[in-house]
Amino acid sequence: MEPQRHHPQPHISAAGPTTPFGSTASYPYATSGQKRPKSRGSYTCGRCGQPKRGHTCQFRPPPAADSHPDTPISITRTPALPPPPPPRQPYSNLRRALSFDDVESSGYGDSDAPDPDPDFDEVEVEVIEDTEVDWDRGWGGLPMSCLWEILRRLPPPGLLSGAMVCRGWRETTRRLWKAAESLRLRVPARAQVRFVRLVLHKCPNLVSLSLTIESDVDATMLECIAFSCPSLESMEIYMSEKATNRITGDELSRFVADRRLLKSLKMEGCSNIGGVALCSSSLLTLWLSGLHSLSKMAFNCPNLKEISLDFSRERNDNTDLVTMVDGLGRNCPRLQNIHIASVRLSHAVVLALTAAQLSDLRMLSLVLGSQITDASVAAVASSYPYLELLDLSGSSISDSGIQIICNVFPETLSRLLVALCPNITTMGIVFATTQLPLLELMDCGMTICDPNASDPTSEESSNFQLSLTSKAKTHLICQNLIIKHSRLKKLSLWGCSSLDALSLSCPELNDVNLNSCFNLLPERLSLQCPNLEKVHASGCQRMLIGAIHSQLHNNVATMDSLLPCKRLASGSKRIRVPHYLMEQSLQSYEDDKKRRRVYRQRCDVLF
């Protein structure tokens, strides 16, 4: 069941997920820049230069101290003809340690390896290295390349204990660590710095580090990271709920200033960052959440492209946002994506932003600011007419504001989010969907509903679950919404409790959120969206869910009866094409088949 709160989050990532905080398994598997193709090394043996096909390399350098004493050493070099097959040694007879030559480090990374078990998110070591494969075999046991593939799928604690099995395994794990460029680690509550130091010591080439921390963390962690990872380019610190982040602004500033290569920094729980002055010419991405009462905030990051600042929702936050935004505008002229979530957002802040002349700005998200009005929209629209994403959720903008948006942004805007804006009505939503042709995502959660029904910004209800009281005496009732859009992919109407009729005709729509639309009547629902994959309907009337199901199946059924077909035993399908159709263009028949394949896509209804 989807959580219903509006979680202000940067909508920024092009390829990544949209819940940066609190979710460890959500990153794409390959985070490092150099993504090598999934090739298994070249086809010539790295040592003797012969093609590897059918070749067991007989050439070996003097055995290293590690290798087992009775390792056979072949003398002759064979050409590319396959040598006689080695005797098959069943594994149970293996009684000696796996041994390895001291060759160049073998193994290769595979950043596309499937991760079928979603619980396997504790820790991951990602290896990206495209070197020669060690084809040595024949003494029994797995060659290092195979052992490498197994061990690299283990979490770091598994690697550490794997090193204890025998010397050969230790060597393999050592090389795995050394090759690791990206590490995602869950730091245990006890002896956390010692743990991190131990692990980081093994991977000096680390480029990207992500830590999920279970107990209080302070600057000693930063020092440890600074010491162990000289090549660090990306760092993320996520806090588990019970842990407090005690890092101060000065400590963070010092850390950032000293990291010449740091490109991306993301940190949660920044409640102790009292004031910060970040100076970095390498930093491109900065996400800080849990901020509170900043005395000063200076960003001297001339190359910064993306910034996300999430302030805690407490009322006594006295951050001076105007000065901060002013500084941002002056010192970070290359900003493309801005996300600020704070209840103290106001028109003055917007004016400071528009005065900044950020010519690259494409995504702007200013959420939770109930003092943001239509005048703010006008200011943004006149200064930044090329926005692709605009998020003004939680503001006081009205349908006029939407009209301004539609006047200025039709050629660029693809994502519009206006959740929790009580002054927006169905008219405004229809404006947007009829006048913004490039729209792909629209969030109108909690707009068409009684603003008095629940207070979404109250601190206690951090999830905005509507209490379904029967005294829903709303003056906004019986609202009808008709949306037709050729490109819309994702639509959210969660919490629109005043909606009682809905008609959607969107051929590209994949996902629609109707959670808590509890007044939506089943007989007044029309879903003409053949590509729908997910419908969220938690909190809706039972009969509505039934209506959704039948509407989806109707779409499928009508298409299936186009041509008679039979299913053969092998599972393949043979379509009987009547003779007279053969003369006609087979092209249209092909098109029909394709369309049918699309319709057969099943849609999940989640409730």
Binding site for other proteins (CB under 8 A): 38, 40, 43, 53-54, 68, 82-86, 88, 90-98, 110, 113-114, 116-117, 137, 142-143, 145-146, 149-151, 153-155, 157-158, 160-167, 169, 188, 190-191, 195, 198, 533, 568, 571-572, 574, 576, 597, 600-602, 604
Residue with tokens 């490092």: 32
- The nearest distance, CB 605 to other proteins, in angstroms, is 12
Closest CB to other proteins among 163 and 389? 163
C-alpha closest to that of 172 among 141, 200, 216: 141
- The nearest distance, CB 30 to other proteins, in angstroms, is 15
- The nearest distance, CB 23 to other proteins, in angstroms, is 21
Counting Cα atoms < 13 Å in the Cβ hemisphere of 43 gives 4
- The nearest distance, CB 119 to other proteins, in angstroms, is 11
Distances from the Cα of 2 to the Cαs of 81, 536, 537, 546, 607, in angstroms? 60, 7, 9, 19, 8
Closest CB to other proteins among 9 and 551? 551
Closest CB to other proteins among 72 and 90? 90
- The nearest distance, CB 169 to other proteins, in angstroms, is 8
- The nearest distance, CB 503 to other proteins, in angstroms, is 25
Question: Residues 6 or more apart from 578 whose CB is under 8 A from it?
Answer: none
- The nearest distance, CB 573 to other proteins, in angstroms, is 10
Whole-angstrom Cα distance, residue 497 to residue 47?
70
Classify residue 439 by burial, with Cβ atoms within 10 Å: 0-12, 13-18, 19+. buried
- The nearest distance, CB 42 to other proteins, in angstroms, is 11
Closest CB to other proteins among 46 and 333? 46
> 3-class secondary structure for 67-122?
CCCCCCCCCCCCCCCCCCCCCCCCHHHCCCCCCCCCCCCCCECCCCCCCCCCCCCC
Here the tokens at position 143 are 């060659």
Q: What are phi and psi of 208, to 5 degrees?
A: -135, 130
Closest CB to other proteins among 7 and 596? 596
Closest CB to other proteins among 543 and 557? 557
Closest CB to other proteins among 41 and 269? 41
Closest CB to other proteins among 190 and 471? 190
Whole-angstrom Cα distance, residue 199 to residue 225?
10
Whole-angstrom Cα distance, residue 89 to residue 374?
78
